[in-house]
Structure 1
Amino acid sequence: MQRPASSARQALLQQLAAEVDALPTDPYVRIGIDGVDGAGKSVLAAELTTALRARGRTVVHASIDGFHHPRALRHARGPRDPEGFYRDSYNLAAFQEQLLAPFAPGGYGRHRTHVFDARTDTANIAEQQQAALGTILVVDGIFLRRPELRGRWTWSLWLQVDRATTLQRCVARDGSGSPDPADASNRRYVEGQQLYVREAAPQQRATHVIDNNDLTRPILLR
């Protein structure tokens, strides 16, 4: 069970929720929570969703992880290849068509929150839903500021966390792996994320950067 957020974390969440709540709708709001694996994206996105709903807002929370490519395509360049991790992990066409475009200006809100289950490596197509006008879409996941996705976000966060800390979280979460960034088993993920940061500069393009090293005391850096 997730522990209750600290008072410092709650205060920051309320500050962020107030800012998002004040954003103009066109007719929807699109929020991206970005960062490397283990940065705390899904937890913060869920907390922000709860804070926004407490303000009376309608929120759809989804993850780019519901739009993976099949394993054969993800690993076509090799199971440990960093380029493949960055370039081939996600079906960006489906992600945009089924989730982002319906919430974009001119969109009609008919969306799906996922189309694939990476754990079973099978299609898992969500039922199409209709979002009411004014709905806030909150999406968490890696690579959300790829060049192909520029211009898609109304507002976004980059969670900044030391790489050793994120790997320790991933090991604790998954029950396997190495917490050492230099370990060969982490090359695909560490170098793939480095490629993303160099190419897309997500921390510079985000609305805010949050230091999320200490989960009880996240710090708004910008």
Structure 2
Amino acid sequence: MRLEAITWERLTDALAGRIAAMAAKDGSPWLRVAVDGAPAASPGDLAGRLAEALRLRGRPVHKAGTLGFLRPASLRLEYGRKDPYAYHDEWFDRQALWREVFEPLDPGGTGRVLPDLWDPVADRATRSAYVELPPGGVLLLHGPLLLGHWFPFDLAVHLKLSPAALARRTPEDERWTLPAFARYDAETRPEEAADVVVRADDPHRPAWSGPAD
């Protein structure tokens, strides 16, 4: 895959323009966009930039992170606190994401989405109020391991880190997750599953595959 150097500002502007154009011609009430990447790639930062750029274009946005949809500790830590296979398979409540985030944005849906479900620190439900995303709005879901689950994304952006960059930028106490991302790369092949790939080995000098057709 050929990647071209770009700044984060130009990347954000190009992606926001693409999303806004899709929303204008798609005809669906809502668009659902993934910003997929390991925590070391900071997918939430790009999602935040995109949210601001889309709001400036007059698009309502709901930005949500998968960290708010972890499963309870009794389930996700069943095999220990540092099991990379459990992190890959069991940590994130994908059924809750389907139920509380994606289904309300299906055609004929209510548009009422839950911003988060579980507080991993207190290990209890957040009890957050539902948020209504108006028709024409955009969901920006950011976090790791998002692809390969049949989530109905209209556009998927993958932040790619080489194994060396991922290891270098992952904090020492989180490096036990590295085998989970190696498995994700091997089994899900996010570079092929995503519409847009952004190489973020150097956080100041990204490169990308260009806009989706």
Alignment of 1:47 with 2:45, yes or no, is: no
Q: Offset at 1:151?
A: 4.6
Is the partner of 2:186 in helix, strand or coil? helix
Alignment of 1:10 with 2:9, yes or no, is: yes
- The equivalent of 1:182 in structure 2 is none
**CA deviations over 1:150-173 (Å, ceiling 9, x no partner):** 1510001010113443444443xx
Distance 1:164 1:18 in 2: 32
Question: 75, 96, 99: which is aligned to 1:97?
Answer: 99
- The equivalent of 1:74 in structure 2 is 76
Distance 1:158 1:46 in 2: 15
Q: Offset at 1:113?
A: 0.9
Distance 1:214 1:25, change over 3 A: farther
Q: Offset at 1:25?
A: 4.3
Letter aligned with residue 182 of structure 2? Q
- The equivalent of 1:205 in structure 2 is 193
Q: Is the 8 A contact 1:104 1:152 kept in 2?
A: no
- The equivalent of 1:153 in structure 2 is 153
Q: Is the 8 A contact 2:69 2:96 kept in 1?
A: yes
In structure 2, the gaps of 5 or more residues are 1-5
Greater displacement, 154-163 / 190-199: 190-199
**CA deviations over 1:94-150 (Å, ceiling 9, x no partner):** 111111111123322011110101122221122012211111000100111133xx1
Letter aligned with residue 93 of structure 1? Q
Q: Is the 8 A contact 2:118 2:124 kept in 1?
A: yes
Q: Is the 8 A contact 1:40 1:212 kept in 2?
A: no
Structure 1 vs Structure 2 CA RMSD: 1.8
Distance 2:165 2:182 in 1: 16
Question: 151, 172, 175: which is aligned to 1:186?
Answer: 175
Distance 1:31 1:125 in 2: 25
**CA deviations over 1:19-60 (Å, ceiling 9, x no partner):** 011112411000000012211201000001111111111100
Q: Is the 8 A contact 2:98 2:151 kept in 1?
A: no
Greater displacement, 100-109 / 64-73: 100-109
What is the number of equivalent residue pairs in this alignment? 202
Q: Is the 8 A contact 1:27 1:133 kept in 2?
A: yes
Distance 2:47 2:40 in 1: 13
TM-score by length of 2: 0.87
Letter aligned with residue 90 of structure 1? F
Percentage of matched positions with identical amino acids: 26
Is the partner of 2:7 in helix, strand or coil? helix
4+ residue runs over 6 A deviation: none
In structure 1, the gaps of 5 or more residues are 1-6, 172-176, 179-184
Distance 2:60 2:139 in 1: 9
Letter aligned with residue 126 of structure 1? S
Q: Offset at 1:203?
A: 1.6
Distance 2:183 2:170 in 1: 20
TM-score by length of 1: 0.84
Work out which structure has the larger RCO, using CA pairs closer than 8 Å and 6 or more positions apart in sequence: 2
Is the partner of 1:38 in helix, strand or coil? helix
- The equivalent of 1:132 in structure 2 is 134
Question: 100, 117, 120: which is aligned to 1:118?
Answer: 120
- The equivalent of 1:22 in structure 2 is 21
